[in-house]
Structure 1
């Protein structure tokens, strides 16, 4: 089988099943596992999948740049943002991650709600200018891909925060890989923010469920729960439910 043919088979299997088990497909195609792993490495280098132990899973479209992500799954993000509003209580201190879903949440947030919001996203902070909430902006080196502050200065500032709640954004949510994102430093910053909050809830629009990115932020048991758009349903959502992780459902029940 030619390399181009193997590539088409692998991508079609990924579209159909959402994952590839290298050993199984090698036997099916009568090829060595080394050949399949080499193909998976090449496809991963093009951003077409994410390699995991034993094979590969779907790559998350949410690893695109900030401007591109603003146009991905917009309805799904709004449903998640609306559901997450119930987690915010008057008088609480809340850390908001950067990202387009948290920006939708801010746009839905009542301007008169009195609470303290901590964020390392200048975009989120600017969207709160007309709100009664107190806003604390964590500064540092601007990571332009996600429009958030990172680096040593941001970590030091974040380490002084004590919050009731952290609303975490990631690019992949999958039972087998946990909560993932595309940049190792961004993953580390998210872990620091999670460590400063009594509860961490993950905001997950539909395109993130079942997808994975290269760098784990936290395992599923490292957060309080997930706010997910369950409209699409699917095997990946069923797998998440089987883990026992608390899920707040946005949209219609799958």
Structure 2
């Protein structure tokens, strides 16, 4: 089989099965595992898969820069945001992650809602300045421009001194086995620090992130209260998560 044919085979397998197991592909094609791994390295370098131990998973489309992410699945993010905003109770406190889905949540909060919003995202704070009854707390640190959020040691330390009823957390990858992932190690650490300071954590994930993975794990499924997504209820990944006991909050048309 030619290299181009192997590439097409691997991409087709990834689309159908949602994962690639290198040893199984090698046995099926009668080639070495090294050949499969080389092919996977090439695909990963083009952003077409996320390599993991023993094979590969679909790569998240949400690892592009902040400006580009604004154009990815805006309707899905709006639906997810509408459900997430409903979890913020009058008088309650919420840790709101950065990113474009979290920004949609901020914009979905009622103008007259009395609440406390803690965030490490300057864009979230700016979006809530006209919410007169919302108390805003901005956690500082080195600004990670890719996601327009504060990260690093100073930001993690600041996070350790707050607490909230709820954390609404964004990720780039949602996968039954890989868990909840993102593309930057420091951002993953910041997300863990934020989640640890809330009584409950719900994950924000529009449909294009379901079944995909990025390089760095944020949390395992045992650490979150549930997933808010507009993904089809019949999506096999949603079925696997439900079977694991993950609460799914469906974000349909609103």
Alignment TM class, shorter chain as reference: over 0.9
Q: Do residues 209 (structure 1) and 210 (structure 2) align?
A: yes
Cα displacement string for residues 93-115 of structure 1 (whole angstroms, at most 9, x for unaligned residues): 11000011111111111111001
Helix, strand or coil at the partner of 2:86 = helix
CA drift of 1:164 comes to: 0.9
- Structure 2 residues without counterparts, runs of 5 or longer: none
Q: Do residues 14 (structure 1) and 19 (structure 2) align?
A: no
**CA–CA distance in 1 between the matches of 2:113 and 2:13?**
48
Cα displacement string for residues 160-179 of structure 1 (whole angstroms, at most 9, x for unaligned residues): 10111110000011111100
Residue 20 to residue 176, structure 1, CA distance change in 2 (3 Å): same
**CA–CA distance in 1 between the matches of 2:101 and 2:163?**
23
CA drift of 1:64 comes to: 0.8
Contact 2:85/2:106 (CA < 8 Å) preserved in 1? no
Contact 2:202/2:225 (CA < 8 Å) preserved in 1? yes
**CA–CA distance in 2 between the matches of 1:220 and 1:26?**
31
- Structure 1 residues without counterparts, runs of 5 or longer: none
**CA–CA distance in 2 between the matches of 1:246 and 1:54?**
29
Partner of 1:142: 143
Counterpart mapping for 1:54-203 below 5 A: 54-131=54-131, 132-203=133-204
Cα displacement string for residues 123-167 of structure 1 (whole angstroms, at most 9, x for unaligned residues): 000000100201001111110000000112111111110111110
**CA–CA distance in 2 between the matches of 1:231 and 1:70?**
22
Contact 2:121/2:138 (CA < 8 Å) preserved in 1? yes
**CA–CA distance in 1 between the matches of 2:37 and 2:236?**
24
**CA–CA distance in 2 between the matches of 1:7 and 1:174?**
23
Which 10-residue stretch deviates more, 242-251 or 225-234? Answer: 225-234
TM-score (norm: length of structure 1) = 0.95
Aligned length: 252
Partner of 1:25: 25
Helix, strand or coil at the partner of 1:87 = coil
TM-score (norm: length of structure 2) = 0.95
Partner of 2:251: 250
Partner of 2:221: 220
Which 10-residue stretch deviates more, 112-121 or 150-159? Answer: 150-159
Q: Do residues 38 (structure 1) and 43 (structure 2) align?
A: no
Cα displacement string for residues 165-195 of structure 1 (whole angstroms, at most 9, x for unaligned residues): 1100000111111000000110000000111
Instruction: Let me know the Cα RMSD of the aligned residues.
Output: 1.3
Contact 1:170/1:202 (CA < 8 Å) preserved in 2? yes
